[in-house]
């Protein structure tokens, strides 16, 4: 890989993660007694920026947090992880975003979010900080922020020739002008169907890139949905399939990239690890299949540890796994 550090700009969210382990998810109206509780940093944007930094990139984060203790914690995290947060705004008008996560015995998760400052990240904020994007090798965006800041980010990247990676999570339809500027779109099955207008009933996806058993998935249907997204304007679609790996679909053809087998402990951060790693690999100039394989290795390692940020792997571990044959 390249001898100089790749530069990855991430535009997205920061949320405090409040996580509880439970024996089973509660039914409506049911109270379940939890086992363990943890409070820690989260938000897809921040997680992916940290993931990129741990994998050796010069990672830059553009976002908005509250002028509260959770915002202070965010700044301390980025300092500790080597993430450049000069483009983050401290917002005195609202709170830092908060995410509530419950994880069951099988490592599956359910998540709710109170966005707070994330909802106030504007297109003007992004344009004022466009230099962080224009001088990067790759831009990584997600959908825990509004359409307008996402549009401003991809426009700045496209104008500068910066590779655009969009992780469309949580799932919602994207404006056509935004999708047309995305070089690599990384939905899971549910997100792909939402983007394609097919609804979420055909897929078994959980959080983007999360580990699953891969059983019962229809490869032909996955490919057809991915091709619909190409027709809508995306340059390349990397459809994540959890424990089954990913489907790489472009104008050059279709290729399935298997993920290494692991014992999942907590799938919450798998998608963030995958996307951060994919952006780093693309920024380093890897060809598509190698970049997706690198992402699969990072995602697999992430699910072997509890909690998101503690589970994001370092470069040596990912390189070692990539070097193995699986």
**Rounded CA separation 208/26 (Å):** 23
**Rounded CA separation 226/193 (Å):** 9
Count helices and strands (H / E) in the chain. 12, 13
Q: Are strands 236-240 and 246-250 parallel, antiparallel or unpaired?
A: antiparallel
Strands of the 37-42 sheet, one edge to the other: 37-42, 15-21, 97-103, 109-114
List 141's β-bridge partners, or say none.
11, 166
Buried-state track 86-102, b at ≥16 Cβ within 10 A, e below 16: ebbbebeebbbbbbebb
Q: Which helix (H) or strand (E) holds 140?
A: strand 138-142
Nearest to 60 by CA among 16, 5, 15: 5
Query: What are the residue numbers of the active site?
Result: 272
Q: Cα–Cα–Cα angle for 81, 87, 88, nearest 5°?
A: 75
Q: Read off the DSSP letter of residue 62.
A: E
**Rounded CA separation 40/246 (Å):** 29
In terms of phi and psi (left: phi > 0; alpha: psi -120 to 50; beta: otherwise), the region of 305 is: beta
* 198 CB burial (10 A radius; 0-12, 13-18, 19+): middle
Backbone angles phi, psi at 83, to 5 degrees: -90, 125
Question: What sign does the CA torsion over 89, 93, 96, 101 have?
Answer: negative
Q: Read off the DSSP letter of residue 188.
A: B
């Amino acid at each position: 890989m390249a001898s100089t550090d790749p530069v990855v700009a991430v535009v997205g969210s920061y949320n405090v993660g409040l996580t509880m382990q439970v024996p089973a998810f509660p039914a409506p109206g049911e109270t379940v007694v939890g086992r363990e509780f943890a409070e820690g940093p989260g938000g897809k944007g921040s997680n992916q920026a940290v993931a990129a930094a741990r994998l050796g990139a010069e990672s830059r984060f553009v976002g908005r947090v509250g002028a509260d203790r959770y915002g202070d914690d965010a700044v301390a995290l980025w300092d500790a992880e080597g993430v450049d947060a000069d483009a983050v705004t401290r917002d005195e008008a609202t709170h830092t975003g908060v995410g509530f996560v419950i994880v069951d015995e099988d490592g599956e998760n359910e998540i709710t979010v109170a966005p707070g400052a994330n909802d106030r990240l504007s297109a003007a904020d992004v344009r004022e900080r466009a230099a962080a994007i224009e001088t990067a090798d790759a831009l990584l965006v997600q959908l825990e922020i509004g359409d307008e800041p996402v549009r401003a980010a991809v426009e700045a990247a496209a104008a500068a020739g910066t590779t655009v990676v969009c992780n469309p999570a949580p799932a919602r339809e994207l404006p056509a002008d935004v999708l047309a500027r995305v070089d690599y779109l990384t939905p899971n099955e549910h997100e792909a169907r939402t983007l394609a207008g097919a609804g979420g009933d055909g897929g078994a996806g959980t959080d983007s890139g999360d580990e699953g058993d891969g059983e019962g998935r229809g490869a032909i249907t996955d490919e057809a949905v991915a091709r619909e997204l190409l027709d809508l304007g995306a340059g390349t679609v990397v459809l994540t399939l959890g424990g089954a790996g990913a489907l790489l679909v472009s104008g050059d053809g279709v290729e399935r990239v298997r993920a290494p087998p692991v014992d999942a402990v907590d799938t919450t951060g798998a998608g963030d690890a995958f996307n951060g790693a994919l952006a780093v690999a693309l920024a380093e100039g890897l060809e598509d299949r190698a970049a997706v394989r690198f992402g699969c290795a990072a995602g697999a390692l992430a699910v072997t540890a509890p909690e998101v940020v503690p589970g994001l792997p370092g470069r040596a571990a990912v390189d070692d796994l990539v070097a193995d044959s699986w």
